[in-house]
Structure 1
């Protein structure tokens, strides 16, 4: 997957002129029109004002100017209603937005494996993923498959997501149908081995039997998270989308962001890349340096702009501070 260009979401509020140009032009136009009366013959034909002509003009102007002020009143009424409508739209958006965040929190709290619930689950899932990753590499070497690091991640995540079992194995094999059949069969057999499951369970101190899949947990979790981000991203009202998504991102732990990144490497989560949601909103920027072993797992920085991650920002700031202390 190619490295993304730094196209982050930015909010540019409408300036004062853009928001009020109709009202401004109306007022100035009205003032100019009103003052045109002084070019009438009653004021310009002689050095003195003709009372009769001026009186007739005054009657005319009274009705004419009154109409102009009525027009101005309508314009400002429109402006007031427009502002009220915009405020109402933002309020309506925020009501649903905060409801979606609440639903996300509830979803996380309800996710459970064995005796564990909530955000701790994602730590356990990453541990299980890494156990599967070891098996993926072993079987790939055994069946002489030359996988890239990304392919190892994809295969391992499919196994984490679908698992093995009477129905799960069928779905896993379908997901891996583009890979060598000998590898897929050997891989499924290795995961479906009771001794291997027990060994991993004991080594990782799991309170559940590993390799049986988490489709029911992760599928719902990622679908709702995606819909929440899209709800903000699709808004046409004048809001700072990045700040709203940033609030959602703040709900995610490091392990949630890491698992989301892995999910997005597969066709299951590719739509996050297609819509540029991961990059535009820097949605996994809090994954710390070294979370994934660059030498043995995957180079996380190769998928994002050079200033994407939080730790890259700190490095840049530190470098600038050092440069300032150097003599010129």
Structure 2
């Protein structure tokens, strides 16, 4: 279209430039054309009239036809421009709607995090205690006696059982939920964990009843507490009461937000939005999300098409955050995850780095 338009405009311009010059061409260039009105620099009225009819009838018709073509081409170009502008406006409107909803969801996530509270700890600080409580639950699972059922537990199964025990807890109602959630695991191991967790709760309450050094737990640790007792004290609240009321909606909303991010048509933009979400998660939040994804209730996060691997949601967990032998080997559990510490290690190995 652009080429045709340029050609038509060029023809019109050339015609308008050359036509007025025809009456003044030299006699020897005229080839004795009868309609040329100028012979020997003498203007002939009869030939001038013929020339005018020629210009008005023939050249004018060509100019009109060319003008029609130009007008049609201009109309098509304007139509295409309007369509493109409309598409751009629609795309911009869709992007604006997406951004508004995304940032509303991000704000809601921040509010969910800020509302988390347990025994005086608020917001992201609670995840530090959550990780400590999970580690206590995992130590109970790892200490199961060497029975046939215990030997059936793989490393992943142990983390699954420990996380479900941490998540649901034990108590009049919690124990029933925990048993239902762990029906895929050896029943004898589950019952032993429930019994040990109930004992840990009793031990914690007994520690708080001791009159000596009641307000100085650190001094009591140095003087009297065993390692197991100190693990309970550091949690700062009675363990294994369950956290589904705190974490249930937190993870549901986080998953829905990532599902919304994944619906964006542009792959590059999806990763950009996912990076913003990941930036909101502290190391302890990412660590608990990692554990949640290994458990039965968080299985939607993991897998080939899971958001955890797809958007590297836990890449900021430090290398030695988990004990690779006693807890979890991150690189073995998530072989495709590009952890941040790997980038640092590669950068340090570059020439010129010490």
- Corresponding position of 1:131: 136
Determine whether 1:205 maps to 2:180.
no
Count residues in correspondence: 294
Asked if 2 retains the 8 angstrom alpha-carbon contact of 1:143 and 1:182, the reply is no
The correspondence for 2:72, drawn from 67, 70, 73, is 67
Determine whether 1:255 maps to 2:275.
no
Asked if 1 retains the 8 angstrom alpha-carbon contact of 2:309 and 2:337, the reply is no
Q: Which moved more, 1:303-312 or 1:74-83?
A: 303-312
> How big is the shift at 1:117?
1.0
- Corresponding position of 1:189: 195
Q: Can you give the 5+ residue segments of structure 2 that lack an aligned partner in the other structure?
A: 14-18, 20-30, 34-50, 208-227
**Pairing 1:78-157 to 2, within 5 Å after superposition:** 78-141=83-146, 145-146=150-151, 147-157=153-163
Determine whether 1:309 maps to 2:339.
yes
CA distance in 2, matches of 1:208, 1:162: 16
SS of match in other structure, 1:145: helix
CA distance in 1, matches of 2:191, 2:331: 33
CA distance in 2, matches of 1:86, 1:132: 50
> How big is the shift at 1:316?
1.1
Asked if 1 retains the 8 angstrom alpha-carbon contact of 2:309 and 2:336, the reply is no
User: For the pair shown, which has the larger CA radius of gyration, 1 or 2?
Assistant: 2
> How big is the shift at 1:64?
2.7
> How big is the shift at 1:322?
5.2
Distance 1:34 1:138, change over 3 A: same
TM-score, with structure 1 as normaliser: 0.81
Q: Which moved more, 1:200-209 or 1:104-113?
A: 200-209
> How big is the shift at 1:148?
1.8
> How big is the shift at 1:196?
4.0
> How big is the shift at 1:98?
1.0
> How big is the shift at 1:93?
1.0
CA distance in 2, matches of 1:238, 1:183: 44
Asked if 2 retains the 8 angstrom alpha-carbon contact of 1:254 and 1:286, the reply is yes
TM-score, with structure 2 as normaliser: 0.75
CA distance in 2, matches of 1:181, 1:272: 26
- Corresponding position of 1:289: 319
- Corresponding position of 1:298: 328
CA distance in 2, matches of 1:238, 1:285: 19
- Corresponding position of 2:186: 180
CA distance in 2, matches of 1:67, 1:167: 78
Q: Can you give the 5+ residue segments of structure 1 that lack an aligned partner in the other structure?
A: 1-25
- Map Cα deviations across residues 108-140 of structure 1 (whole Å, 9 max, x no partner): 010111211100000000000000111111225
Asked if 2 retains the 8 angstrom alpha-carbon contact of 1:257 and 1:286, the reply is yes
> How big is the shift at 1:197?
4.3
